[in-house]
Amino acid sequence: MSVERLAIVGLGLIGSSIARGARTYGLANTIVAIDRDPGVIERVRALGLANLATTDAAEGVRGADLVILCVPVGAIGTVAEAIAPHLKPGAVVSDVGSVKAAVVAAVSPHLAETNVFVPAHPVAGTEYSGPDSGFSTLFSNRWCILTPPEAADEAAVERVRALWQGLGAIVETMSPEHHDLVLAITSHVPHLIAYNIVGTAADLEEVTQSEVIKFSAGGFRDFTRIAASDPTMWRDIFLTNREAVLEMLGRFNEDLSALSRAIRWGDGEALHELFTRTRAIRRGIVAMGQETAEADFGRARNAAPSAPVQG
């Protein structure tokens, strides 16, 4: 199922990857790229990512059958308000945000009854951003979670589902609230921990005279990759999903206290039991095809890391 006219608002990593995939796999007859940054639009034109590229959101969404908002979740309500009067009746609106309940609350009030909002979250990405960073296979064999309203028009939901399946994603459906709780522990809290550890290391770096960076082992290296993700996007995620993040962070702190006690009292049995259980989780992720089982995560020696940072 192809879309006659697809409008993408925000041509960063995700938006540009959608544009590339839609063109590569023939998922839209006309692709419209919209971004407020003239430099981004100039680059989109140079890369040939869309049939039309513009900084004018009203012009860009006019006549579109499907509009995907690929902007930070903190700005999504403002963007929805700006484009809503220019949407044609029957146009479907979606997004790619890592938070869903707050996005639904921010977008839905601005849309006319003839426009259906079908929120989506492709659980894929890298630490890079901008239109040059996208690639058509970014979503291949990755999850995309849809959180449509209970009474959402099934044809509208199917339109969004078909696009993501066409991009190679495995589509799952759940409520916005459940999505936010699941992603809080699988993505948001891990990012928060990574930012914190790298920040602590940055403070220690001054004391150890560059030894922290010089002798970085694989674990710390992977934390720095996660912590290199878009700061604006992650600031907005933590502010808009604060309740779920704080709940999961509370559970993490309780488990961390138990782990500290095991180390303090030399409880090797408790440590071994935990490490065995967590190792099984890793094997489960590999078995589901969401990561490689290759040594060193499949990295080529002396090459820049390329494994996905899921958001």
The 10s digit of each residue's pLDDT in 147-173 is 998 888 999 999 999 999 999 999 999
**Looking at the chain, which residues constitute the CATH 3.40.50.720 domain(s)?**
3-175
Residue 83 has pLDDT above 80, yes or no: yes
Residue 125 has pLDDT above 90, yes or no: no
User: Where residue 208 falls among pLDDT bands split at 50, 70, 90?
Assistant: low
User: Where residue 82 falls among pLDDT bands split at 50, 70, 90?
Assistant: very high
HSE of 106 in the Cβ direction (CA atoms, 13 Å)?
Answer: 25
Residue 98 has pLDDT above 50, yes or no: yes
| Class level of CATH domain 3-175 | alpha beta
- Which residues does 295 contact at the CB level (< 8 Å), separation at least 6? none
> 225 with 261: CB under 8 angstroms?
no
User: Where residue 291 falls among pLDDT bands split at 50, 70, 90?
Assistant: low
- Which residues does 267 contact at the CB level (< 8 Å), separation at least 6? 261
* Pairwise CA distance, residues 123 & 75, whole Å: 20
pLDDT of residue 44: 97
Residue 300 has pLDDT above 70, yes or no: no
Residue 56 has pLDDT above 50, yes or no: yes
pTM, two decimal places = 0.81
User: Where residue 61 falls among pLDDT bands split at 50, 70, 90?
Assistant: very high
**Looking at the chain, which residues constitute the CATH 1.10.3660.10 domain(s)?**
178-298
CATH architecture of 178-298: Orthogonal Bundle (1.10)
Please write the tens of the pLDDT for every residue from 19-41: 999 999 999 999 999 999 999 99
